[in-house]
Amino acid sequence: DQQVKQNSPSLSVQEGRISILNCDYTNSMFDYFLWYKKYPAEGPTFLISISSIKDKNEDGRFTVFLNKSAKHLSLHIVPSQPGDSAVYFCAAGNYGQNFVFGPGTRLSVLP
Amino acid sequence: DGGITQSPKYLFRKEGQNVTLSCEQNLNHDAMYWYRQDPGQGLRLIYYSQIVNDFQKGDIAEGYSVSREKKESFPLTVTSAQKNPTAFYLCASSILPSTVLSGELFFGEGSRLTVL
């Protein structure tokens, strides 16, 4: 049973618009969440994180929102750029445990 | 530049052969990890090591083996016992074990293994 789910395998967005990538988790013990971005044939690179004591974290065009009661987090990219086209993974963890990764969402930003 | 180096980037192997994937880091990180990526699935943890000369099985360790004789090196051997070895393999490291406190995992560029 997947503990971290990304129910949209793919998403297409027009350049300049907002991209919203969603992630759901089942383990209420998770208290730290990461988003990674991955280009083809490359390793994932860290994008942004959020801990359970916050409900929002912002870094430039990227904002992550956490709704603990719903066990849901989302990554917002505004404005979306063609270079943002990649696979995005969310990962969840808690102290003493290794991170669990979701299956990823492929984002395509259309010019 | 500090980072993680995986080699080879592409590897072909015949069924029944063992193959070893290299992972070297110069970040002075204590913890190192091996993940496997398959289409439509998240990164699944194969093995991890929190300190030299110690390692633990992850979620899908069967058919794999590792060693951690040096802090900077964590090679993964895919043995003939691994039933579906064709995959993209990723090595990662983090500053501290039990990575939540340090947050970030740093990944290598990956090795794609194809079994013919």
Could you report the per-residue pLDDT of B66-99, keeping only the tens digit for each? 999 999 999 999 998 888 899 999 999 988 765 5
Mean of the pLDDT values across residues B20-28? 96
Chosen from A32, A38, A98 to mutate, greatest number of chain B CBs within 10 A:
A98
Q: How far is B92 from chain A (nearest CA, A)?
A: 9
Residue-wise pLDDT for A2-61, tens only, equals 799 999 999 999 999 999 999 999 999 898 899 999 998 788 999 999 999 999 999 999
d(CA B105, CA B114): 26
Query: Does residue B8 have a cis peptide bond before it, meaning omega lies within 30 degrees of 0?
Result: yes
Q: What is the mean pLDDT of residues B21-25?
A: 97
Which positions in chain A touch B35 (Cβ < 8 Å)?
A: 101
Phi, psi of B69 (to 5 degrees): -85, -25
Q: What is the mean pLDDT of residues B33-51?
A: 90
Which residues on adjacent β-strands are paired with residue A45? A37
Q: Which residues of B touch A45 (CB under 8 A)?
A: 107
Which residues from chain A sit within 8 angstroms of residue B33, using beta carbons? 98
Cα separation of A27 and A4, whole Å? 8
Q: Does residue B112 have a pLDDT over 90?
A: yes
Which has the closest alpha carbon to B9: B116, B115, B113? B113
